[in-house]
Chains A and B, each alone.
Chain A
Amino acid sequence: MLTQLPYLAVVLIAGIGIATILLKKNLIKMIMGLGVLTGSANLFLVTLGYRDGGIAPIYTSAPEGVMVLSTVQAMTVTNIVIGFATTALLLAFAIMLYRKYGSVETGDIRRLRE
């Protein structure tokens, strides 16, 4: 049961992230929700590679023992970088919208509707 706990956390955090994106009307909060969702994906990947009692996968001066999987960690780092780029892009959009409309509430900036 204890080993399943992180997966439960993943589902919970992903749920919070999606709910934030769907329910909040403030752009900044929506971007934060996306960040939370990215975090849950990262947690999921790292948990996949975890081995009980495993050590960090560094060969320099490594003690004996089982190592945790390194591929998922590389994937996690990649996803962190991508998440960083996405957040920066979305925040730049938010700044531009704020300049044009003077607000970051989605209700105020919906002009593309017909």
Chain B
Amino acid sequence: MQMSRIVRTTADIAFPFILVYGFYIIIHGHLTPGGGFQGGAILASAMLLLLLAYRYHESIRHVRKTMMKTLESGGLLLFAFTALSAMALGAGYFYNWLSPGGVLFGDIVEVGSALANLNTAGLIPIMNLAVGIEVVGAVSVILLALLSGIKEKI
């Protein structure tokens, strides 16, 4: 089934904005509602928009299954190794050794009503990023798998 030109153009225009919004949700995960899963789901919804606006075999040229699988595994591995990295320093699994005072995301959180500081919370933003990468890959793989189930009928 071919979607109309209006749908395709709208999808093209909306796609980058949805991506930016998804990244915003992921990066601000430790400050505002949202985080890795939510942002990743938004990113994956951008992929879904492409998949719906274009035909299945058209869109899989851009949203490749191997790439998405790599993203999924890469994100998960980043998450697991971030958690494991604390053990290399002699602390417990998942210990947040970057906060406070680390090189990255190491600022000390000000108590009370202060403006949000992105550069805080240590490992948590890194893990949010890892989860975001993982979710966009995993959800895209699921969507591709489910869409491939109906491709013969259309």
Classify A-B as touching or not with yes or no (CB < 8 A): yes
A5: Cβ under 8 A from any B Cβ: no
Interface size bracket, A side: 10 to 19
Partner of A58, one of B32, B142, B149: B32
Q: Which residues of B contact A59 (CB under 8 A)?
A: 109
Min CB–CB distance B33 → chain A (angstroms): 7
Min CB–CB distance A109 → chain B (angstroms): 16
**Given A91-B146, A92-B146, A99-B149, A58–B113 Cβ distance below 8 Å?**
no
Tell me whether A92 and B32 are in contact (CB under 8 A).
no
A60: Cβ under 8 A from any B Cβ: yes
Q: Which residues of B contact A58 (CB under 8 A)?
A: 31-33
Q: Which residues of A contact B116 (CB under 8 A)?
A: 60-61
Q: Which residues of B contact A98 (CB under 8 A)?
A: 149
Min CB–CB distance A114 → chain B (angstroms): 30
A16: Cβ under 8 A from any B Cβ: no
A98 CA to B145 CA, complexed, in Å? 14
Min CB–CB distance A73 → chain B (angstroms): 9
Partner of B31, one of A60, A77, A88: A60
Q: Which residues of A contact B32 (CB under 8 A)?
A: 58, 60
Q: Which residues of A contact B149 (CB under 8 A)?
A: 92, 95, 98-99
A62: Cβ under 8 A from any B Cβ: yes
A92 CA to B144 CA, complexed, in Å? 11
**Given A61-B114, A95-B146, A56–B33 Cβ distance below 8 Å?**
yes
B115: Cβ under 8 A from any A Cβ: yes
B56: Cβ under 8 A from any A Cβ: no
Min CB–CB distance B121 → chain A (angstroms): 11
A11: Cβ under 8 A from any B Cβ: no
Q: In chain B between 102 and 143, which residues have their CB closer than 8 angstroms to a CB of chain A?
A: 109, 113-116, 142
A58 CA to B29 CA, complexed, in Å? 11
Tell me whether B146 and A81 are in contact (CB under 8 A).
no
Min CB–CB distance B84 → chain A (angstroms): 21
- Chain A to chain B contacts (Cβ below 8 Å), 20 pairs: A56-B33, A58-B31, A58-B32, A58-B33, A60-B31, A60-B113, A60-B115, A60-B116, A61-B116, A63-B113, A77-B37, A81-B37, A88-B142, A88-B146, A91-B146, A92-B142, A92-B145, A92-B146, A92-B149, A95-B146
